[in-house]
Amino acid sequence: MEKKKKNDIILICVLAAAAVILFICLRVVRPHMSGLNSGLTAEITVDNEVVFSENTDSLKLPFTYEVIAKDGGGNTFVIDKDEKGVIGMSCTYADCPDKVCVDTGRVTLPDDPIVCLPHKTVARLYRTSE
């Protein structure tokens, strides 16, 4: 019985280590790989209607886009490049009560959304070519 507990602990440790390594690869290493930012499109939708969609290679960065939602509220999104050349998007202003979209911070991974539920607004970067 004691050998079974020891094997369970070893298995849990191996799975935890694998999870940490996977997290590091997806969140830290992957965004900084060369070529990750080429072929990205920035897209902003309001109430499931695309209001902005542009390839980031054609934008003069930093690029600011202001959204007026159907409820009259607004969000400001900024697409920029950091000192390492990684393209990202962030919501710098929102007049919604909870500010979850602003608190999301800067997203750099494709298909990582910034969501403002009160204004039914979603902003994301996605890959257009490999």
User: What is the tens place of the pLDDT at every residue in 64-80?
Assistant: 999 998 888 899 999 99
Do 70 and 22 share a domain, yes or no?
Answer: no
DSSP 26: I
Cβ neighbour number for residue 3 with a 10 Å cutoff: 7
* More confident site: 31 or 111: 111
Q: What is the pLDDT of residues 3-27, one digit of tens each?
A: 778 888 999 999 999 998 888 777 6
Q: What is the mean pLDDT of residues 71-100?
A: 91
Does position 56 have pLDDT exceeding 80, yes or no?
yes
Do 16 and 64 share a domain, yes or no?
Answer: no
pTM of this structure: 0.70
Domain residues for the domain of 20 are 2-31
pLDDT given for residue 34 in this prediction: 45
Do 64 and 92 share a domain, yes or no?
Answer: yes
